[in-house]
Amino acid sequence: MTVSPSGVLGHGPSVRLTTSLRWRDRSGASTGSPTAPALYTGPRLSPDQKSVVVAMTDAATAQPDLWVLGLARGTISRLTSDPATDWFPAWSADGGRLLFGSNRLGGTAIFEKTVGGGQEEPGAEGVVSAAGATFPIDVSGDGGLLLYGQLTTRGYDLGVLTLTGERKASTFLATPFNEAQARFSPNTRWVAYASDESGRFEVYVRPFPAASGQTQISIAGGTQPEWRRDGKELFYISADGRLTAVPVTTDGATFSAGPSRGLFDVEVPEPNPPFPTDYAVTADGQRFLVNTVVDQPTRPALTVILNWQEELKQRVPTR
């Protein structure tokens, strides 16, 4: 159910968008075969570029589980099968483990699992929050740090968890606004993220670990930043649905960004909390795996009600 700014009420059955993972080059041309239509979210390429992990909603439980797609042979294997929600996967730096968020313990926690088998183990003791969702977002290039998202009374904030030695959690960025979709730069000196502090989502970069000062990357709305592995380019999806590239410099004392350039249009699901990402980029920045909305010609109708406030007043007895 939703209400427009003018007071029009609309309601109807919820619609889950069917998507397909499709490879595109920088011109937007399709490369390779798309996956079968399903309910996908959050595709992430493995560090060796040979596999993709994605959350896919199970038809029996109506909850997402994690699946790993082998790119060389087109194989697909299930990684988790708990009836709870398992999503927001993030690869370890060596590609041997996956961290993910799950509510299987009641509150949401971060788990990790060895790829290829083994039992899932809690991966972030001390990060579990009764106040909201905690889920992994990105692992640093050296494997020592994890960026995670957490729902608080302010909105979505960003934290950092150490993955070596004693696991300690600390806040990276907490404001009255939503910060999401964070990514470490390849040299771990910067963090790109999306924030709605301006009233709409834009992509920003802050230094790590200080988080002091920020550089705005997108101009007229943007989400879902991803780095090229050499740190010389940053990608994002603009508010008008274009996969966009920005040349950047990350190896100096200061961060700098050049003019943005739209590459091609994408049709991905609308961004909704907790803001999963809908594409992955190869290490050389030449190919993109886009979670593309599949045409659904028979979507359920929406019922629109006008002047519902007046009708409600007539039905509610006055004292």
- pLDDT, one tens digit per residue, over 202-237 is 999 999 999 999 999 999 999 999 999 999 999 999
Asked if residue 314 is part of any domain, the answer here is no
Asked if residue 253 is part of any domain, the answer here is yes
Q: Which residue has the higher pLDDT, 307 or 6?
A: 307
Q: What is the pLDDT of residue 314?
A: 56
Report CA torsion sign: 140, 159, 292, 37.
positive
What gap in Å lies between CA 70 and CA 152, rounded to an integer? 36
Mean pLDDT (the chain) is 86
- The first and second tokens of residue 164, run together, are 């070596």
Q: What is the pLDDT of residue 310?
A: 61
Query: If you average pLDDT over residues 32-49, what whole number do you get?
Result: 94
Residues contacting 24, CB < 8 A, separation 6+: 30, 31, 243, 264, 266, 287, 288, 290
Tell me how crowded residue 5 is: count the other CB atoms within 10 A of its CB.
5
Q: What is the pLDDT of residue 3?
A: 42
Asked if residue 101 is part of any domain, the answer here is yes
pTM: 0.85
Asked if residue 166 is part of any domain, the answer here is yes
What gap in Å lies between CA 200 and CA 157, rounded to an integer? 16
Q: Please say if the pLDDT value at position 131 is more than 90.
A: no
| Amino acid letter for position 22 | R
User: Tell me, what CATH number does 29's domain have?
Assistant: 2.120.10.30
Asked if residue 143 is part of any domain, the answer here is yes
- Give the structural domain span for 53: 18-295
Asked if residue 121 is part of any domain, the answer here is yes
Query: If you average pLDDT over residues 8-19, what whole number do you get?
Result: 59
| Burial of 64 (C-beta count, 10 Å sphere; 0-12/13-18/19+) | buried
Q: What is the pLDDT of residue 90?
A: 96
What separation in angstroms does the CA of 294 have from each of 53, 109, 175, 298? 20, 31, 36, 12
Asked if residue 92 is part of any domain, the answer here is yes
Query: If you average pLDDT over residues 100-127, what whole number do you get?
Result: 75
Q: Which residue has the higher pLDDT, 310 or 101?
A: 101
Asked if residue 316 is part of any domain, the answer here is no
How many structural domains does the chain have? 1
Sheet holding 179-184, edge to edge: 179-184, 190-195, 202-207, 215-216
